[in-house]
Each structure stands twice: as structure tokens, then as C-alpha cells.
Chains A and B, each alone.
Chain A
Amino acid sequence: MSFDQEITLYHLDVLKEVGNIGAGHAATALSTLLGKTIDMKVPLVKIVSFDDMMEMAGGSENIVVSIFLRIEGEISGSMFFILPLPQAESFIRTMTQDESFSFDTPPYSEIGLSAMQEMGNILSGTYLSSLSDFTQLNLYPTVPALSVDMVGAIISYGLVELSQVSDQAIVIDTALFGEGHEGEGVTGQFFLLPDPDSFHVLFKSLGVE
């Protein structure tokens, strides 16, 4: 599918709703996990170049904590949950009650990383199961993988399938933030990147041709 010709504004609105529902449930799960109020921004759905995609995540060299999984099943794609280091540190400290956890120098504490991994499992699982309920599609996510690295290196991995067909990606970007923190940077960001062949299945499942 060539994105610029066949995807209309209406399609983009439908994808926005996908982000809304998925990340909305994930925000609730995160809120329960941390015992804090978590809000979300209105999802952004954009058709972007690969370089623009990196800019949306803070630039190629931006060092982040990421949870990445592949979605398989009736539709396929890549999903990332990306956290700035200070945010991830603060979440890990809350979950493990270990105030000494830090991303300053590797190797990082195993328990801390394991807590982060678990949080990624819960949030991405919540996002995808609500997406599956909403679309009635069977989705089989891989076990999420955790990485602390440059965002360009991480996201380009999720662009491999897409890059065979296109030089652009449709990204559903949803940001979460803590109560009263909207101006102070994002708590976490979901990127959902459906593979090109999946769009028609996704739209069909939602009654859009």
C-alpha cells in the first residue's frame, strides 16, 4: 500500500482511535501499578520519514529505555514503549523500593531491569489486548525485549519490515504523563508501527474500506 495515495484523513482518525483505546487502557494499568494518576495525550498519527520518526523519539542518539515487541497474528507490526532514563529510574525505584537504582553506569541491577521488563509486559499487553478486543483480531505478541540504548538503533529495528515497501512509516504515537506534569516532559511514549500489509486488515476489521 502506498501510504500517501491510499490513506485518507479518515483512516488516520481511525488509527488515532486505536491509539486512544490502547494507550488509555495502558495508562490505567500504569496508574494502578504505581499508585499515581497517569494521563495521556491525544494520540498523534503521522506519516513520517524514518528520520522524522527518530526525531519524534528525541533524535537518533537520545538514550532511552525501551520495551520492544513484534506483533504477529492477523495483523503484524512493531510496538515500542519508550521511557526517558530519569522516568524509568523513578519507576524502577518505586516498584522495587530501591532508591539506589540508577542508569548512570552499567551494569544495571538485575532486579531493577526485571521490574522494568515486567512493567513493559503489563503495559504493552494491556495496549494490545484492548486493541484485539476493539478489532476482534487475533494478535500474538512476542515476549517483549528490554533495551537501554540509542533510540535510533532501537527503532530502526522495528522499521525493517516496513523499509522493504516504503521510505515512510505510519506511526501511532501516544504519550503518557503523570498528574500535573504535562509541561515537564513525557513519562512514556508508545509507538505502534503496523506492517504495510496489515493496514487493510486493520481497517476492514473496523468497518472502514
Chain B
Amino acid sequence: MGEIKQQVIKVGIADLKVVNAPDTIRTAGLGSCVGLVLYDQVSKRAGLLHIMLPNSILSRSDTVNVAKFADTGVKALIEQMGVSTTRLKAKMAGGAQMFQFSSQKDMMRIGPRNVGAIKDQLKLHRIPLLGEDVGGNSGRTIEFDTATSLLHIRTVNAGETIL
């Protein structure tokens, strides 16, 4: 019988995963994308979703990758958590405006739109948002610790934040 080793589970872009304590879960290089963590402090279980777009109606593809969009992604993450939504809490980071352009097409404001879409979904499912580090113009790498329920956020230009 070996010791229980703590693993860091990585979530890619437009992807979602769920882990149990003592593992941590992380996603790297969030720009306009948003990383949403849902966690249950009782079962020490947490899921991380890395979305790119606010709404699946933007999809012009035949097959939908649910983890790419805020609406379908939040729903899928709740299902994968497998616990009552009344036990879930949320923290999130990302949604930056990485570049400023004078001719702002709507698509270029995607960061703030992603943040708004996630908040709408959380309200819809009545999940409290207990911490957020969103907006600005820095990329973020985030890691959630299931044992402490803390979200560690690292940026290149603004150091580390813990929520």
C-alpha cells in the first residue's frame, strides 16, 4: 500500500474535468477565456471548466463541444459533479481583454461577455459565486486546491492572488 499521492489534474482549453481531494486541478493561460470552479466542501470534490465562448448559439458547427460554451459547459460540469446544486459553490477567473483595438468588433469584447454568461448560468442554477478575479488585460493560470477550497491565480504582470 503506497501513500496517496497528490496529483495536479490539468484541464485544456474548451475542456472540463472533476477531481477529488487531495488532488488539485488547474488550467493554464486563460486570456479572454474563463476558468470556472464548482466545488463541494463536504465531499471535497471540485470541477473546473475552461470556456471560450459565452453561448452555444454562436456555434456554427454540427457537433458541439459542450465545454467550449458557458451555457452548455456549466450544465455539463454540474452533471459531472454528481452532487446536489445546493451544495455547490463557485469561484472563477479570466475574461481578460488581452488586446485593445480601436475598431471594436463585438467578438473582440469576448472576455467580459464570457464572464457575464457564466454569472447568468450560476444565477440560473442558484450557485453562489464566492470569489472572482476577472477582467483586466493579463493572462492567468489558475489552480484550485480541493483540501482548502482556495483558488490560486498567477499572472505574469500582477503576481499571485488567492481567492
Q: Known: A70-B101, A156-B31. Is A149-B60 also a contact (CB below 8 A)?
A: no
Q: Known: A149-B156, A154-B31. Is A164-B98 also a contact (CB below 8 A)?
A: no
The answer on a CB contact under 8 Å between A145 and B61 is: no
The answer on a CB contact under 8 Å between A150 and B139 is: yes
In the complex, which residue of chain B has the Cβ closest to the Cβ of A106? B157
Instruction: Please indicate the chain B residues that have their CB under 8 angstroms from the CB of A143 in the complex.
Output: 101-102
A68 proximal to B (CB < 8 A)? yes
B89 proximal to A (CB < 8 A)? no
Majority secondary structure, A binding face: mixed
Minimum CB–CB distance for B110 against chain A, Å: 5
Q: Known: A149-B157, A152-B139, A163-B52. Is A50-B60 also a contact (CB below 8 A)?
A: no
Out of B13, B58, B62, B103, which one reaches A164, CB within 8 Å? Answer: B58
The answer on a CB contact under 8 Å between A164 and B102 is: no
In the complex, which residue of chain B has the Cβ closest to the Cβ of A161? B107
The answer on a CB contact under 8 Å between B156 and A163 is: no
In the complex, which residue of chain A has the Cβ closest to the Cβ of B56? A164
B residues 88-113 touching A (CB-CB < 8 Å) = 96, 98-103, 107-108, 110
Minimum CB–CB distance for A200 against chain B, Å: 15
Q: Known: A51-B13, A167-B65. Is A157-B29 also a contact (CB below 8 A)?
A: no
Please classify how large the interface on chain A is, using the bins under 10, 10 to 19, 20 to 34, 35 or more.
20 to 34
The answer on a CB contact under 8 Å between B156 and A148 is: yes
Out of B13, B65, B140, which one reaches A54, CB within 8 Å? Answer: B13
The answer on a CB contact under 8 Å between A157 and B32 is: yes
The answer on a CB contact under 8 Å between A152 and B101 is: no
The answer on a CB contact under 8 Å between B29 and A153 is: yes
Shortest 10 CB-CB contacts between residues of A and residues of B = A152-B29, A153-B139, A153-B31, A60-B29, A150-B139, A60-B28, A145-B99, A51-B12, A149-B139, A150-B29
Q: Which residues of B contact A (CB under 8 A)?
A: 12-15, 28-33, 52-53, 58-62, 65, 68, 96, 98-103, 107-108, 110, 137-141, 156-157
